[in-house]
Amino acid sequence: GAVVSQHPSWVICKSGTSVKIECRSLDFQATTMFWYRQFPKQSLMLMATSNEGSKATYEQGVEKDKFLINHASLTLSTLTVTSAHPEDSSFYICSARDPLPQETQYFGPGTRLLVL
């Protein structure tokens, strides 16, 4: 299947700092990417839908000023957690939709963020 990479795979940072997570579709062009957050032993919670060249669409309850999303190219989307706090500690997973064939959504390996 198609490959989606995510970097870094894990990060530890101090409270108040910003962290950027990159998501790349390696073998297809993704006009649409998605960012999810997953808490331990729970399902994925959609944070936002990222469309190349336009502003991201955030889900209700997700602070757009805290979770900045940039989809600058057809193969790259970034999520920046600004002024991170311990409650932002989580597993963040990106997903890219392959328009061919038939719009399968592929997922990155995830980024575990720990804010101290």
Partner 1 sequence: AQSVAQPEDQVNVAEGNPLTVKCTYSVSGNPYLFWYVQYPNRGLQFLLKYITGDNLVKGSYGFEAEFNKSQTSFHLKKPSALVSDSALYFCAVRSSNSGNTPLVFGKGTRLSVIA
Nearest CB to partner 1, comparing residues 16 and 22: 22
Count of residues in contact with partner 1, rule CB under 8 A:
26
Considering only residues 3-42, where is the footprint of partner 1 by CB under 8 A?
4, 6, 31-32, 34, 42
Nearest CB to partner 1, comparing residues 65 and 103: 103
Shortest approach of partner 1 to residue 83 CB, angstroms?
Answer: 26
Tell me how far apart the alpha carbons of residues 105 and 2 are, in angstroms, rounded to a whole number. Answer: 9
Shortest approach of partner 1 to residue 86 CB, angstroms?
Answer: 19
Tell me how far apart the alpha carbons of residues 38 and 82 are, in angstroms, rounded to a whole number. Answer: 18
Tell me how far apart the alpha carbons of residues 13 and 18 are, in angstroms, rounded to a whole number. Answer: 8
Q: Name the residue type at position 75.
A: T
Structure tokens at 116: 């101290």
60 counts as binding partner 1 under rule CB under 8 A: no
Beta strands in the chain (DSSP E): 4-7, 10-13, 19-25, 32-38, 44-51, 57-58, 67-73, 76-81, 90-98, 104-107, 111-115
Shortest approach of partner 1 to residue 22 CB, angstroms?
Answer: 14
74 counts as binding partner 1 under rule CB under 8 A: no
Contacts with partner 1 by CB under 8 A lie at 1, 4, 6, 31-32, 34, 42-44, 46, 49, 51, 91, 93, 95, 97, 102-110, 112
